[in-house]
Amino acid sequence: MTSFARNQWYVAAYGREVGRDLLARTVLGEPLVLYRTEAGEVVALADRCVHRRFPLSESRLDGDRIVCGYHGFTYAPDGGCVYVPGQQRIPRTARVASYPVVEQDSFVWVWIGDQGLADAAAIPRAPWLADPEWTTVSGMEPLDARYGLLVDNLLDLSHETYLHGGYIGTPEVAETPITTEADEEAGIVRVSRHMHGAECPPFYAKSTGIEGRIDRWQDIEYHAPCLYLLHSRIAPEGVAPGPDGDDGGAFHVEIVYAITPSTENTTYDFWAVARDFARDDEDVSSFLHDSNRAVIMQDVEALNVLEKVIATEPDGYQELSINIDTGGLAARRILARLAAGEQVRAGADAR
Ligand code: FES
Ligand SMILES: [Fe+2]
């Protein structure tokens, strides 16, 4: 059974998805309803009316309040009930949980765990996504697989060669060794692969216009549990950054994933591709959007199959790991520690 790291920030939605309609999302097994107040603040409440469990996301907004669609219990943005039908007295326990929310870098981050530990300054950044100097395409695909499978997938990009040939995979990705660095304290895993004189896959050939071979750098930075950054540098072969760090001869793509466990066996796969070139070119935007989505769907299909395989295998099945798995194994260790540490704390609280 997957155990979740509860005392962490997770992406529940893009800011653009949350408005004056009620949006249902389930994060770490907790059903949430999200909406924006008239003043524009994002609210996240438990999506279950205290009366007879009707989903508040199936109800309606009256100003900043949700009116339950079953018998009319009415909730303020702090989750407190302000009206019940047929009586003046509102029971003291008439309230739904409200969750801390932070809007940052185009994402809506939510905190499901112990509210006393929620520190907005601890949210990792993906500044390109809301920076006017960058152009971003993005989306979200739901996955019928546990989030750990997506973490494994993203920390080992050698699979690009086999699963994503024709889009982003070329032989060099699988052939080039990686370097891995894990900062267990900070919960960050870095995996780098720098390819020289590599084939240019269609994803980059068509978007950058480079003809011929390229130097292609992939520098992954995974901030456990939720945020994954892939700093991608593409340049014509032999074009290096200048001594002062100037890198005007290269194309830069920041690929961002937010990996949010929905339930034990389902995950939200938020993805974004930000670029610093052809920024006003709509054709490049739609090409990158469609290509990246196609790549994501190849992963979704593969991971959904893996989830089914895991469901049928006997206990104690042993995987075989090799060098390419170093980053994924480091991530697993960090995630296990985050989840276990919090379980210990939760146990201590209960006594
Ligand atoms: S279930 Fe919500 S008011 Fe009855
Ligand atoms: Fe992939």
Written as six digits, the tokens of 223 are 């901030």
Cα–ligand 1 centroid distance for 68 (angstroms): 6
Residues 183 and 292 in one domain: yes
Residue 2's pLDDT band (cuts 50, 70, 90): low
Residues 192 and 75 in one domain: no
Q: Which atom of ligand 1 approaches the CA of 54 most closely? A: 1
Q: What is the pLDDT of residue 310?
A: 95
Which residues line ligand 1 at a C-beta cut-off of 6 Å? 49, 51-52, 54, 68, 70-73
- Residue 136, pLDDT above cutoff 70: yes
The answer as to whether 345 is a domain residue is: no
Tens digit of each residue's pLDDT (9 = 90 or more) over 287-340? 999 999 999 999 999 999 999 999 999 989 999 999 999 999 999 999 999 998
Tens digit of each residue's pLDDT (9 = 90 or more) over 146-172? 999 999 999 999 999 999 999 999 999
- Residue 350, pLDDT above cutoff 50: no
Q: What is the mean pLDDT of the chain?
A: 95
Written as six digits, the tokens of 260 are 């949010």
Residues 274 and 334 in one domain: yes
The answer as to whether 35 is a domain residue is: yes
- How far, CA to CA in Å, does 250 sit from each of 209, 233, 275, 287? 12, 7, 11, 20
Cα–ligand 1 centroid distance for 55 (angstroms): 9
Q: What percent of the chain has pLDDT over 90?
A: 95
Own/partner long-range contacts of 53-62 (Cβ < 8 Å, ≥24 apart): 55/24, 55/31, 56/22, 56/96, 57/22, 57/23, 57/24, 57/31, 57/33, 58/22, 59/22, 60/22, 61/20, 61/22, 61/35
- Residue 346, pLDDT above cutoff 80: no
Residue whose token pair is 């302000």 = 82
Residue 261's pLDDT band (cuts 50, 70, 90): very high
Contact 138, 129 (CB under 8 A): yes
Residues 162 and 240 in one domain: yes
Cα–ligand 1 centroid distance for 75 (angstroms): 11
The answer as to whether 1 is a domain residue is: no
Q: Which residue of 22, 33, 45, 51 sits with most ligand 1 atoms within 8 Å of its CB, as the best mutation to test the pocket?
A: 51
- Say which amino acid occupies 236: P
Q: Which of 88, 121, 154 is the last residue of a domain?
A: 121
Residues 92 and 235 in one domain: no
Tens digit of each residue's pLDDT (9 = 90 or more) over 64-88? 999 999 999 999 999 999 999 999 9
- Spatial CA neighbour of 195 closest among 222, 168, 221: 168
Taking a 5 Å cut-off on Cβ, the residues next to ion ligand 2 are 299
Q: How many residues are given for the chain?
A: 351
Number of Cβ within 10 Å of residue 119's Cβ equals 11
CATH of the domain at 23: 2.102.10.10
Going by alpha carbons, the residue nearest to atom 4 of ligand 1 is 71
- Spatial CA neighbour of 16 closest among 170, 129, 145, 158: 129
Count of the separate structural domains present in the chain: 2
Contact 14, 140 (CB under 8 A): yes
Q: Which atom of ligand 1 approaches the CA of 52 most closely? A: 1
- Spatial CA neighbour of 230 closest among 252, 209, 198: 252
User: Has this prediction a pTM greater than 0.75?
Assistant: yes
The answer as to whether 3 is a domain residue is: no
Q: Which atom of ligand 1 approaches the CA of 73 most closely? A: 3
DSSP output for 15-68: GGG-SSS-EEEEETTEEEEEEE-TTS-EEEEESS-TTT---GGGSEEETTEEE-
